[in-house]
Amino acid sequence: MTNEEIQIEAFMGHVPHSLVEYVVQTLESYEEVICYLVALETSTKVGEHMHFIVKTVKSGFYEKFRERVFKRKLALRGKALKNKPRQYGKIKDIKDYEKLGAYTVKDANIRTNFPQDEIDIFCQKSYKKFELEGYYSQFLDKIDKFVEKHITQEKADRLALQKTEAWINQPYFEKNKDERINLDYPVKIFIIKELKDSNTESITKGKIDAIWNRWMSSRMDPEDIYYYIYQKRA
């Protein structure tokens, strides 16, 4: 059998993980299925769902599986409605098969009968969450200590300023218009210095913003997050 004869179907569905045995048995019931890769994932937005890569000897498998599992078994929604996302869908054009496989195995919660060497390739290329978490955590702890010192110094400077004649003669509104201590500039400068000290190959806005956003999201109150996301852009 040549590679040209093999069809690759990639799709996802909001299937609860409790149905994984049913899903696997259903996949194995189709004679045209060569092998399958099912990834069980959970997200805060859609909850439990599954991603699929299925190799078949002919086209038309996805349509049969969709009708049997997504429509008849689970009554899932194939089109997005107002404030309601679609609940299943297929990738029409697979541009990078290995990248697709790497994404599918990234959570390491899979059911498959793919050849092990192919799974190994996916895993080697996979974006590993635990590695990324470790990458961020090394910055977050350092930022915490930096911010604690920065806020302490800023408060001390403000207190010293309030004792001066310039502060006393300043209009009330100007003295009280914003009690927040500006953090985005000093923290981002600190992040840049840390990236330089760690010999990061390239320092980009994306890397700086990713670390800042991760720290802001995990450390700040909702009102402060709103301020930095919306007010500071004005």
Predicted confidence (pLDDT) per residue in 192-231, tens digit: 998 888 777 678 787 788 888 888 888 888 888 888 887 6
Distances in Å between the alpha carbon of 47 and those of 43, 60, 87, 129?
5, 28, 11, 18
33 DSSP assignment: E
Q: What are phi and psi of 112, to 5 degrees?
A: -160, 155
Q: Are residues 63 and 136 in the same domain?
A: no
Q: Are residues 51 and 150 in the same domain?
A: no
Give mean pLDDT, residues 50-76.
94
- Of 125, 146, 166, the one marking the end of a domain is 125
**Is pLDDT at 173 greater than 50 in this prediction?**
no
Q: Are residues 7 and 82 in the same domain?
A: yes
pLDDT of residue 154: 79
Q: Are residues 26 and 111 in the same domain?
A: yes
- Of 125, 150, 172, the one marking the end of a domain is 125
The runs of H, that is alpha helices, within the chain are 20-28, 61-65, 97-104, 116-125, 129-162, 165-168, 172-176, 184-197, 205-219, 222-229
- Of 100, 125, 150, the one marking the end of a domain is 125
pLDDT tier, 234 (very low <50, low <70, confident <90, very high otherwise): very low
User: For residue 18, what are the domain limits?
Assistant: 3-125
Domain count, the chain: 2
Amino acid identity of residue 16, one-letter, is P
**Is pLDDT at 39 greater than 50 in this prediction?**
yes
Q: Are residues 103 and 148 in the same domain?
A: no
Q: Are residues 217 and 203 in the same domain?
A: yes
